[in-house]
Amino acid sequence: MQSKVSNHIVQGFLLAIIATLLWSGNFIIARKVSNTISPISLAFYRWACASLVLFPFAYKKATAELNHFKANWKIISLIALTGIALFNTFVYVAGHNTTAINMALIGTTSSPIFATIMAVIFLKERLGFYRIIGMIICILGIVLLISKGSWQVLFSFKFSSGDAWILGGAFSFAVYNILVRKKPVQLSSLSFLLIIFILGTIMLFPFFILEQIIVKDTVQWSSALISSILYLGVGTSVLAFWCWNLAISKLGAGRTVLFGNLIPIFSTIEAILILGETITPIHFYSGILVIGGLIIANLKFKNK
């Protein structure tokens, strides 16, 4: 009996690690293909690909649950807008203006802070001691990263455009995390993902067309770019969500969410190995602060 429980936990750990490893690649792709495809085109092709891949597996359930979608179309549309259409598009815009390491550290650590603040304001959640301390440590880590460890830079503080875009994406994803808690319980996870993927793609489509007409930003198609879009559509969109949801079922949400702290670590390693970016002591120290802060912020949940 104990062996079965142990295997269940190990499986949950592996699934959560796979999900975060897949998600970490999103920042690498955003940076790597920034010179070959525009942000809106990349986002549109990603979610169109994800929708097509998931459709055969989820359309029956989605059709059966269509009445529930119609009854809750407003909240579901907002979820698709913030989590699908806006968040990743902002990440891809940031990829044109900042490093993958900065995107991973700022994006994955500021979003939980935004989400916590909004949960207190709109959901009336109470902040415990550990969450307050953890948030303060996270903020210190982000300030250290953006200021590059210099008081002079901090006092003459000015966001780079890339850092501002990734913060905008983090805020959008935080709103998504608040809204997704209101997902109707009658909707299965698979059909819910399919619907928000399709809605996000539809929301991006007019801007995708405008981009082709007005900006005339030509995509430089290559096998590497096609592989990147497939990775985003299949890996970071379908497989990662599937692994994450399975991990939650095996470990519980409170324990699983801690694995999100691995994303900036994986992204930093990948940025060094794949993109040739350099890591500085500031990246190292800020990473320790934000990951440690997130762990401390979740201690309360572990003790429950």
Predicted pLDDT at 128: 74
Q: What is the pLDDT of residues 61-97, one digit of tens each?
A: 999 998 989 999 999 999 999 989 998 899 888 888 7
Q: What is the pLDDT of residues 123-173, one digit of tens each?
A: 676 767 777 787 788 778 767 766 667 766 555 555 667 778 888 888 888
Model confidence at 199: pLDDT above 60:
yes
DSSP characters over 164-184: HHHHHHHHHHHHHHHHGGG--
AA identity, residue 175: V
Predicted pLDDT at 263: 77
Averaged pLDDT for residues 191-220: 88
How is residue 208 written in tokens?
Answer: 């995708």
Q: What is the pLDDT of residues 20-38, one digit of tens each?
A: 899 888 888 988 888 889 8
Predicted pLDDT at 257: 64
DSSP characters over 57-119: HHHHHHHHTHHHHHHTHHHHHHHHIIIIIIHHHHHHHHTTTS-HHHHHHHHHHHHHHHHHHHH
How many other C-beta atoms are found inside a 10 Å radius of the C-beta of residue 294? Answer: 23
The DSSP letter of residue 33 is T
Averaged pLDDT for residues 255-262: 68
How is residue 298 written in tokens?
Answer: 């979740």
pTM: 0.79
Higher pLDDT, 101 or 153: 101
Task: Report helix angle 262-270 to 100-122, nearest 10.
Answer: 160
Residue that is written with structure tokens 């592989």 in the block: 227
